[in-house]
Amino acid sequence: MAFENLTEKFQRIFKKLTGQGTLSERNMQEMLDEIKVALLEADVNYKVVKDFLNDVKQKAIGQEVLTKVNPSQMITKIVYDEIVELLGSNKTEINYNKNKPTIIMLVGLQGSGKTTTAAKLAYLMKNKLNKKVMFAACDIYRPAAVEQLKVLAKQINVPVIHEEGLSAVDIAKKAKEVVYNEHYDVLIIDTAGRLQIDEALMNELNQIKKEVNPDETLLLVDAMAGQNASEVASTFNEKVALTGVIMSKLDGDTKGGAALSVAKLTGLYIKFVGTGEKISDLDIFYPDRMASRILGMGDVVSFVEKVKDTIDEREAKKQAMRALKGQFTLDDMLKQLKQIQKLGSLGGVLSMLPGMPKINDEQKQRVENEMKNFEIIMDSMTLEERAYPEILKNSRKVRIAKGCGKTAADINRMLKYYDQAKMMMKQFKNKGGFGGFGGFGGKFPPNFGGR
């Protein structure tokens, strides 16, 4: 969608607000309106947005704007913190019983990912926590649902309890007996998808609950779910008393605002998120990352953390100083490239950066290739050339091209990028920016990686 992201919008609004020292109702309103739209576009429920922004407003009014930030950054931080708090802590893993099996029941709408998630959970518990796991296949309605669980179970070598002709309740009961008798650690009950308003099927869930008394009843929420997710979660919670939520399909490009609606309305925490189609693609939930994602501001926090771990601070400082003085050489650029490569796949880093939401996988791949090219080219340059790229004339370019097996056009493209990165450095110097990160912290030069 051709929506501006929140960061861009804020930059626009911010221009009007420069120099205002305190947050007031008036100067906040436009930003709050933008945040409202951003949250709605992220599928956070309308009522939740309304309540939520009211809370934020109450908290923000009268706060002094810290000297180093602008009002929009201030508001963003307040909103962000508030979302993180609502989404809860990330220490929400499952509590395992010590002397008896832990029973987990998965519930949700049709197609929300119960069966796949059951397999992922089992894999995680079995392989990472060394638990002895068993499935109960209680979806007796959808054609081949049991078969689906059986196929997945076989891949990870987990037994399945199911018997043709038995009711879902009886299957669960039987499974409970088996896990108790055979000393399993965990029983995962896969149930049929159902509408929250289907009385008969909701009763079935309660029956199962009564018979097997699960330690956890987890609701699957599709990350792509819209406004109605809040009602679904509330009703499920009312009728079967949930203990937590798993959000599936978060590897898509949806913002996942449903997470916020569900958290606000049910007070339940998200325990896991599904992040891919492989059986190992189940991750614990990070409220801070989710908050940035919902706000559409890139995964700033994770990025900063990752950067901190990887980069030698002193080196970064040295570079920052040089950059601030305007001495940004090809060498500096190469160092930056290498540091960024150390962060792992550039694609991953890029997707975490604010201001880069529209890059797709293909483009990411292209940028990554481009970076590799630069490095190869620079390896064929003399130290002098790297320090003073201005001296690169045609004859030198031909030599370098021969040396690295690239064309002169490749070299020119790199130099063009260097010029742009240098320009950005200067801009950062003037505005004060992303510390040692200069060229890569904020944005890539506009045509970087493009053709």
Partner 1 sequence: MGLIKFLKEKFSKKKEEKELTKQENNISEVNEQNDSKLEENNNIKKEEDLNKLNDNKNSDFDLKKYDKGLEKSRKSFADKLKSLSKKYKKVNQEYFDNLEEVLIEADVGVKLTLDVIQELLEKSKKEKLEDPEEINELLIDILFLKYVKENEDKNLELKFGSKNPTICLIVGVNGVGKTTSIAKLAYRYIKQNKKVLIVAADTFRAAAVDQLEIWAKRINCDIVTGLNNQDPASVLYKGLEKAKNENYDLVIIDTAGRLQNKVNLMNELSKMSKVINKLSPDSIKETLLIIDATTGQNGVLQAKSFYEATGLTGIIITKMDGTSKGGIILSIRDELGIPVRFIGLGEKIDDLELFDLEKYLYSLCINKD
**Any long-range contacts for 410-415 (C-beta under 8 Å, 24+ apart)?**
410/373, 410/377, 411/377, 413/370, 414/373, 414/374, 414/377, 414/378, 415/389
Out of 145, 205, 350, 371, the residue judged to bind partner 1 by CB under 8 A: 145
- 199-212 and 168-181 are packed helices; what angle lies between their axes, rounded to 10 degrees? 20
Closer to partner 1 at the Cβ: 158 or 411?
Answer: 158
Contact positions with partner 1 (CB under 8 A) in 28-57: 37, 40-43, 45-47
* Total site size for partner 1, rule CB under 8 A: 50
Q: Return the structure tokens found at 110.
A: 């049709």
Q: What is the 3-state secondary structure (H, E, C) of 136-177?
A: EEECCCCCCHHHHHHHHHHHHCCCEECCCCCCHHHHHHHHHH
Closer to partner 1 at the Cβ: 3 or 180?
Answer: 3
345 binds partner 1 per the rule CB under 8 A: no
Contact positions with partner 1 (CB under 8 A) in 228-287: 228-229, 231-232, 248-249, 251-255, 257-258, 277
Strand, coil or helix: 53: helix
Closer to partner 1 at the Cβ: 43 or 288?
Answer: 43
152 binds partner 1 per the rule CB under 8 A: yes
Q: CB 438 → partner 1: shortest distance, Å? A: 29
Strand, coil or helix: 243: coil
Closer to partner 1 at the Cβ: 276 or 344?
Answer: 276
- H or E segment to which residue 230 belongs: helix 229-240
Closer to partner 1 at the Cβ: 42 or 104?
Answer: 42
Contact stretch for partner 1 (CB under 8 A) within 69-77, 78-86, 359-367, 384-392: 359-367
Query: What's the CA gap between 33 and 56, in Å, rounded?
Result: 12
Closer to partner 1 at the Cβ: 213 or 280?
Answer: 280
Query: What's the CA gap between 124 and 221, in Å, rounded?
Result: 19
Contact stretch for partner 1 (CB under 8 A) within 10-18, 68-76, 144-152, 403-411: 144-152
Burial class (CB in 10 A: 0-12, 13-18, 19+), 399: middle
**Amino acid identity, residue 424?**
M
Contact positions with partner 1 (CB under 8 A) in 178-197: 195-197
227 binds partner 1 per the rule CB under 8 A: yes
Query: What's the CA gap between 230 and 207, in Å, rounded?
Result: 24
Contact positions with partner 1 (CB under 8 A) in 103-142: 109-113, 142
296 binds partner 1 per the rule CB under 8 A: no
In the chain, the largest separation of any two C-alpha atoms, in whole Å, equals 83
Q: Which residue(s) pair with 220 in the sheet?
A: 108, 246
DSSP 66: P
Q: CB 50 → partner 1: shortest distance, Å? A: 8
Q: CB 113 → partner 1: shortest distance, Å? A: 6
Q: What is the dihedral of CA 70, 74, 76, 77, to 10 degrees?
A: 140
Out of 144, 241, 321, 408, the residue judged to bind partner 1 by CB under 8 A: 144
Site residues, partner 1 (CB under 8 A): 1, 3, 37, 40-43, 45-47, 109-113, 142-145, 147-152, 195-197, 222, 224-229, 231-232, 248-249, 251-255, 257-258, 277, 360-362
